[in-house]
Each structure stands twice: as C-alpha cells, then as structure tokens.
Amino acid sequence: MSLPLDQAPSIAERARDLAFFSHRPAGAGASRRAELVVPSMQCGACLRRVETTLSALPGVTQARVNLSTKRVIVEWRDADHPPALIETLDEIGFPAHAAELGDQHHDAELSALMRALAVAAFASSNIMLLSFAVWFGADPQTRQYFHLLSGLIALPTVLYAGQVFYRSAWSALKHGRTNMDVPISIGVTLTFALSVWETMQHGRHAYFDAAVSLLFFLLIGRTLDHMMRARARSAVAGIARLAAPCATVIAPNGSRRDIALSEVMPGMLLIVAAGQRVPVDARIVSGTSEADCSLVSGESAPVPVSTGAELQAGILNLAAPLTLQALRPSSQSFLAEMTRMMEAAESGRGLYRRIADRAAALYAPVVHAAAALTLVGWLAIGASLHQALTTAIAVLIITCPCALGLAVPMVQVVAAGRLFRKGILVKDGSSLERLREIDTVVFDKTGTLTVGVPELLWPNPENLEENSALAVAAGMASQSGHPYSRAIAAACPQPLAVRAEALSEQAGYGLEARIDGAVFRLGRPGWAAPLHAVDPQVSVALSRDDKPLASFRFRDRLRGGAADAIADLKGRGLAVELLSGDRASAVADLAGRLGLPYRAEATPADKVRRLEELKRQGRTVLMVGDGLNDAAALASANVSIAPASASDIGRTAADLIFLHESLSAIPLAHRIAVKSADLIRQNFALSLAYNAMAVPVAVAGFLTPLMAAVAMSSSSLIVVLNALRLAAPRHEEASHG
Amino acid sequence: MADALFLVPLAVVLSAAALIAFLWSLADGQYDDLAGAAERVIHEDREHPLPGRSLRNDIAGQDGG
C-alpha cells in the first residue's frame, strides 16, 4: 500500500526544479540565488515564519519574502547541494515550488511605463493649474507668461513620456500598418507644435494641457494594460524537463554505459532504475515494478507493470529496476509527441485578437479620415492654411481615444482584482475576453472534478454493530497515515479501540494487529488473505487469521461544489462534458453521478483531438484540467483553468488558476467574465458617444482648450467609474443569470 | 504679476522635487511589496532596514495585476 495520492509534483521533484532554476547573481561571488513561489503565505506572521525558518538553514545568507507576489528570494553560499528549502517549507506547512526562470528578470517595461506615467502626471497637473488661470480670463501678459511656462514643462514631457507611443507608431508604420498609436503620436506632436506656434504668435489658445493630459490618460490605460498581459511563458520547457537526461544501455557483452537520448536505437536494451524516468518508448523485457503513469493517464496512483508491458517515455519507474527494450527512437517517443503538440497549441494561441486591438483597427482610420477631411473641407471653403490646420488638429485632439484606451484595461484590472479576492488568478487580460465567448466546458476527472483523495464505498456506516469488520478496520486504520487508512477511519463513526502496541505496519503491504489472540490484517488483498482470490476492484482487504472478513473499495472524492458548479454551468446554457485518461468504469461512475457525457481512457493526443473536433463544430471550449496529460489540451482550448494543485506544467499552460478547493470558482469566473465584457462594451459606447458629441464642435472650428480638457477628463472619468461598478460586491447577487 | 513671476516657477520646481522623490522611491523598489511592507512595520525586532536591496529590486514588478 504505497500510494502517493498527491497529484501535485512530489517534494523531490520540486527540489530538483530548485537546483535547475537557481542561478548565480551577477557579481555576487560564490553565492547562488533562487526564487520560490509560496502560494499559501497570507499574512505578516506567515512572512516572518518563512523568512526566519529559511534564514536559519545552514548556508542560507538571506531570505526575503514579497508578500504581494507570494514569492521568496533566497540566497545561499555556493555548495554542492542547495539547502533543503522546499523540504523545510513543506514541513512548516508552506508548500513551495521554484519560480520558472522566465519569471525572474525584472519587468523593465513596466518600470519604464511607471516613470513615463509619473512624469506625465506631474506635467499635466502643473499645466492644468496654469491653464485654469488662462481659462478664467488672465490678462494677455499673464496668459502669455503662463503659456510660455506651460510650454517649458510640456516640452520634456512630450519628448519623454510620449516615447512609448512614438516607438509603437513608428514600428507599425515601418511595416506598412497603422495602429492606434499612429493618430495618438500625430495628435500629440501636432498639438504641441500648434501650441508653440500660437505662443510665439501671442495667440489666445494654446493646447499644452490637452497634449500632456492626453499622454497622462493614455499612459494610465497603457500601464494597466501592460499589467494585464501575461509575459510570454511556455510549458514546452516544462515537458522537456520530464525527459531523462540520458539512457543507460546494456551492451551485448553485458557492460552498461550512459548514452545520449538521440543515440538510442530501437532494439537496444535499457536499464531504468527506481526513481528514474523511462527515456524512450519501450517494452519491459524483465522486471516487475510500479510506474507513475500520470503523464499518460493523469492518474497518479502507481500502476503495477511487468514483463511485456509497454511504457511511454517520461513515465516514472517507482519501485524496482526494469530492463527495457527500446521501441522507437527518442525523436518519435511519446514525450517528443507531447512536446510537438504543446508547441503547436501554444503557437495557435497567439492568433487571438483582443477586443481593444479590433476596436483600434476600426477606429484609427476614422480618426485620420476625420482630421484629413476637416483640413480639406476648410481649405475648400477658402479658409487660410493656418485656420484649416488649427481646426484639423482640434479634431485630432478630440478624437484621440483616451477613454477608449482606458475602456478595456480598467475593466480587466478591476475584474482580475475581484477574481483574485475570490481566489482566482488571471494570468492575462485577454483570457477574460476569451472566457466570455465559451459555449462548452470540458472537465478532466482526477485532480479536477475529484481531489485525488480516496473515499470509502460502504453501505450505511452509521448503523453497524460494534465489532463489525468496519469498526475493526477503522480502529486499525486510525493509527496509520496512509490515504486509504484515513478514508476507512473517516467512514466509521465508532471504531474499535486498538492498542498501539498491538499494531504493526508492514511498509508496502498494510497493517497487522493482534486482538484477543487473533491476527488481523488490513492491507493488500494478496497479503491479507493470500489463499483467496479477490475481485480486482478491491483495493484493501481485512482478514482474521488469513480468512477474509471484508473487502474495501474506494472512489475518488468529489471536489467541493462540483455538482453545484456543473449545474450552474449547465444553467448558464453551456454544454459540459468529461474527458478523462482514467479507466472507463471509474469515469462512467463519476459521469453518472454528475450526469455528464464522458470519454474515458483518452490519451493526451486524444484530448487535443477531441478539443479540435469541438472547435470544428464551431464550439468555443473552456478546458478545466490539472495533470501533465492535460497540458496540451489546456494549451489548445480557447481558454483554460487549472486548480492550484495542478502539475507545474498544467499551471503554466492554463490561463486562469483557482486557489481554493471548490469548483464554484469556474461559474464565478465565467460570470465575472461576462459581466466585464458587458462593461467593456458600455465603456466603448460611452467614450464614442463623447467623441460623437465633441467632434462636430471641433470640425466647425469652435473647440477651445477648455472644452477639449472637459471632454477628455470627463469621458475618462466616466469610463473609470463604470469599470469600478464591477468591484462592488452587490453585483455578485445582481449578476446571477 | 510680479509675485507670480517667481512664485509660479517656484511651485513648479517644488512639484518637480516631489516627482524626483517619487521616481527615486520607484527605482528603489519601495512599491514592490506593499502588502509585505504593511506587515513588516508591526514587527519590532529589526531596528534597521534589511540589507538586501538588490534582492528587493529583483522581486520587483512581477505582480500580474
């Protein structure tokens, strides 16, 4: 009975990741550094506990927690082995895993945006103050002075804070495209140039405030948008790490040597020790062991394997050394196939066009056309070039989409914050857009609909006799920490009291107890009652003096809220189905309980094929899964959610992650995604309505700096306030249905 | 008008000083862990800031929003 029922990667695996991801900081001599993610840190006490515990480890020079990002950076003196960081954190109740390398570098772009935003905020507030004096009727001398001063503040701002837009506009133009940054860049620079001209001419109207506050509002939108964009990360590297580093081959003369994976030819004999992964697809020639096939089936319960069985590359050999014969070269192995599927799925992902980009593609030409037509129109009716240009620039200012720039990111930031408080992490803003469009939800079974913890199947445990088999079994099981033991103990309200000294645990087999002179055994059926044939569905048997008393069957416990969540999703008009790598009987039982159509014994490739089939039928699919075997499906679905207990690769491949046990996170995420899509539409409508009102005024040549400032600020403000409606808790009730 | 001639630039210079202070605190990593900073202030056993400035800067900017 040695079952690692925990779906999450083992401590050893995570510790190996740590060694993989640690690195030498530049110029720090003989020290190494690693970054760990510790999701369960919640408060100051946790922070202190983690820091002091890690600092006390031998060799550790420093540990610094970042509570906002739930990470800790640890530095230690360079040694052969990294300190037992992950093991130690596990012991004090903070499961941790190494942060991927890609995470580790500083987000330079966000810092640059923040600096530009700070400069624009400074400039626009100061210029606004000066402009107020001008709007409320300063005498010409003061007005001229204030215009000059405004120009001096605006010049460095337009040069520095506007760079983000100029660069993006330039690269778009260079490739013969246009994007929203083109009219923005033209608008800002022309507005500034016009204002300088006006100031030099001692004119009445200078638009320094418009140029600078336009940058300010747009930079807010741009910064929020950047925060909502996931940095490109790939699960492909994670899969590659499951490959054995090399293979041990047995030469015909019996000698062993390690060779590179690419040199393994079909027919070669290979040795795979316990704890190693199978290097290429192979058949067992001799040996009997247990294997962790979670990569293939998603089931982490060990599968007994023996001579003749075929093992796919990446399967972990758990118990005893195996001699294998290679069937395929490593380039055609199961793992290589998984990697290719992953790559294909991830490159397909990049094709989604975000709603803001689609809106910009429609809107940018309108802005150019409106300004150009105004210029031509005014020239046609005989206005001077100066007047025509001034009016055309006024149109550019008023059509510049600052509210439009805020419309999407503001809503997505508020929605992500709301979801975060509910224990759901959104990696990328566009995943909310994609989540809104789904019409089908596909669930994995183990680890997703179920928690991977066994539950005893036993009729009426409440009314049983005192000395019944279950009471005896529960009495014995209550003194063992094994998952099956816990399930038996949990199922019996009144266990028989068994003295601890009468009990012994036989590792790998079960428990043995002496009660009233008889020997009771609880454990593997073949060990407890060796002379009696048993049903293969029975996992644990109880025997008295080798005579079977009872047999126990288990099923995987449903994740909390699973039934309600599925009913809720169906009630929202979504098709729900089950797609599992597990045995048909287990899947059918669960599907029956939940009333779902199902497909069982699906390989990772089958899962991807099923999703593609659904896509061909015009469906938009949300995939909910956790295992290694779901990774490719998670990446190829339109949008995907994984529980926090998922494998590293599953979490990397998924778009959203829910931290709590309950599946109610999924309907909630969908509800908020739908709500935020509504708000984004409203925001578009509101900001376009503002432009529609102001544009005729600008075309007619009546626009003043004051009107531009009011239109810009109030439309941005309204868009922000509208987005904040999503944060109000009362919407949770109001938005049902 | 004569007052405004130097008072207004003075105001601008003062707010520019605030801007520079903000940019410095941003580069120093003081906004990297607002939740952690709020908790750390309660614990009394450290009378000086942690030495690991480079560590703090490294953690910066990884919050997804």
Range of the domain at A151: 108-227
Contact check, Cβ <8 Å, B58/A73: yes
pLDDT-derived band at A118 (thresholds 50, 70, 90) equals: very high
Closest CA to A648 of A341, A88, A241: A241
Contact check, Cβ <8 Å, B33/A66: yes
**Domain boundary, last residue among A104, A133, A155:** A104
Whether residues A646 and A572 fall in one domain: yes
Whether residues A445 and A569 fall in one domain: yes
More confident residue, A44 or A12: A44
| pLDDT tens per residue across span A159-169 | 999 999 999 99
Three-class DSSP labels, A92-135: CCCCCEECCHHHHCCCHHHHHHHHHHHHHHHHHHHHHHHHHHHH
Whether residues A511 and A569 fall in one domain: no
Q: Please state, in angstroms and rounded to a whole number, the distance separating the CA atoms of residues B22 and B24.
A: 5
pLDDT-derived band at A291 (thresholds 50, 70, 90) equals: confident
Q: Tell me which of A48, A54, A64, A117 to substitute to probe the interface with B (most B C-beta atoms closer than 10 Å).
A: A64
Please say whether the beta carbons of A623 and A442 come within 8 A: yes
- Total structural domains in chain A? 5
Closest-CA distance, B47 to chain A, in angstroms, reads: 15
CB nearest to A114's CB, from B8, B12, B26 = B26
Quick one: pLDDT at residue A248? 86
| pLDDT tens per residue across span A66-86 | 887 778 888 888 766 677 888
The residue-averaged pLDDT of A404-432 equals: 87
Please say whether the beta carbons of A76 and A83 come within 8 A: yes
- For residue A406, tell me if it sits in a domain: no
Dihedral angle over CA of A353, A358, A364, A365, nearest 10 = 110
Whether residues A319 and A271 fall in one domain: yes
- For residue A501, tell me if it sits in a domain: yes
**Domain boundary, last residue among A531, A557, A583:** A557
Whether residues A210 and A311 fall in one domain: no
Whether residues A100 and A23 fall in one domain: yes
The residue-averaged pLDDT of A550-572 equals: 86
Q: State the catalytic residues of A.
A: 444
Quick one: pLDDT at residue A688? 84
pLDDT-derived band at A728 (thresholds 50, 70, 90) equals: low
Closest-CA distance, A179 to chain B, in angstroms, reads: 25
Residues of A in contact with B62 (CB under 8 A): 66, 69, 71, 103, 107
Rounded percentage of chain A residues whose pLDDT exceeds 70: 89
Quick one: pLDDT at residue A26? 54
| pLDDT tens per residue across span A350-406 | 667 788 888 878 888 888 888 899 999 999 998 888 889 888 988 888 887 777 888
CATH label of the domain that carries residue A59: 3.30.70.100
Whether residues A320 and A445 fall in one domain: no
Whether residues A185 and A257 fall in one domain: no
| pLDDT tens per residue across span A221-268 | 889 888 887 666 667 777 777 777 788 888 888 888 888 888 888 888
Q: Please state, in angstroms and rounded to a whole number, the distance separating the CA atoms of residues A505 and A169.
A: 71
Residues of B in contact with A224 (CB under 8 A): 65
**Domain boundary, last residue among A622, A653, A674:** A674
| pLDDT tens per residue across span A199-216 | 998 888 888 998 999 899
- For residue A340, tell me if it sits in a domain: no
- Please name the residue that has the structure tokens 């196939």: A337
Residue A88 has pLDDT above 50, yes or no: yes
pLDDT-derived band at A574 (thresholds 50, 70, 90) equals: very high
Q: Please state, in angstroms and rounded to a whole number, the distance separating the CA atoms of residues A287 and A300.
A: 21
Please say whether the beta carbons of A703 and A697 come within 8 A: yes
Hey, how many other C-beta atoms are within 10 angstroms of the C-beta on A269?
A: 18
CATH label of the domain that carries residue A583: 3.40.50.1000
The residue-averaged pLDDT of A173-189 equals: 85
Whether residues A117 and A39 fall in one domain: no
Contact check, Cβ <8 Å, A62/B19: no
Contact check, Cβ <8 Å, A106/B58: yes
Tell me the torsion sign for CA atoms A139, A143, A145, A149.
Answer: positive
Tell me the torsion sign for CA atoms A178, A184, A188, A191.
Answer: positive
Quick one: pLDDT at residue A731? 46
Please say whether the beta carbons of A371 and A396 come within 8 A: yes
Tell me the torsion sign for CA atoms A384, A385, A386, A392.
Answer: positive
Contact check, Cβ <8 Å, B36/A106: no
Q: Tell me which of A36, A61, A68, A128 to substitute to probe the interface with B (most B C-beta atoms closer than 10 Å).
A: A68
| pLDDT tens per residue across span A434-487 | 999 999 999 998 888 887 777 787 766 555 565 577 888 888 888 777 778 888
Nearest C-alpha in A relative to B15: A122
Lowest mean pLDDT among A505-519, A525-539, A571-585, B8-22: A525-539
pLDDT-derived band at A102 (thresholds 50, 70, 90) equals: very low
- For residue A6, tell me if it sits in a domain: no
Closest-CA distance, A214 to chain B, in angstroms, reads: 19
Whether residues A581 and A444 fall in one domain: yes
Contact check, Cβ <8 Å, A111/B27: yes
Whether residues A440 and A569 fall in one domain: yes
Whether residues A16 and A152 fall in one domain: no
Contact check, Cβ <8 Å, A68/B36: yes
Nearest C-alpha in B relative to A141: B1
Residue B52 has pLDDT above 70, yes or no: no
